[in-house]
Amino acid sequence: MRGQEGVRQQRVSVVNACGLARGFLDEGIDVVLSDVLNRDTADLYRQLLPNVLIIELGLPIAEARRRAALRRAHLTADEFDALHALQATLDLGVDHIVDVGPMTLDQQVTAVLHLWKS
C-alpha cells in the first residue's frame, strides 16, 4: 500500500471502522479500535468520532524488535526501523502515551482502562 492508493485505503479503513464503531456506540456498547496512525488518520478519527480517546502505546525500539522477532515478519529490518523512527517523530495529537515496554499485558490493559475511565 503506497502512494495515493495507500492514502485512499487508509481513509476508507478509518471511515469504515468509525461507522462500525458508531453502530455499537449507538447501542451503548463500548468500542476499542486499534490502528497505526498518522496525523491525517488521527484527525479523521477525531472528526468522525468526536469523543474518541486516542492512547498511544509507546515501545522502545529494542523491545519492539524483541517482540517482533517472536512473530512472522511482514517488514524487513530496515522497514521496521524506518517505521519506528517515523512514528517517533510524528505529533499525532494523542490524548495519552503509555510506555508499555516494561509492562505485562495485564498491566497494559489496566493502564488503558484507568485512562479510559478517568
Q: What percent of the chain has pLDDT over 90?
A: 64
Confidence (pTM): 0.84
Supply the range of the domain harboring residue 5: 1-52
**Within a domain: residue 27?**
yes
Count of structural domains within the chain: 1
pLDDT of residue 4: 92
Q: How many CA within 13 A on the CB side of residue 95?
A: 13
In whole numbers, what is the pLDDT of the chain averaged over residues?
A: 92
Residue 2 has pLDDT above 70, yes or no: no
pLDDT digits (tens, 9 = 90+) for 37-89: 999 999 999 999 999 999 999 998 889 889 888 989 888 889 888 888 888 88
**Within a domain: residue 35?**
yes
Q: Nine-digit cell at 86?
A: 517515523
Question: Which long-range contacts (C-beta less than 8 Å, at least 24 apart) are formed by 4-7?
Answer: 7/40
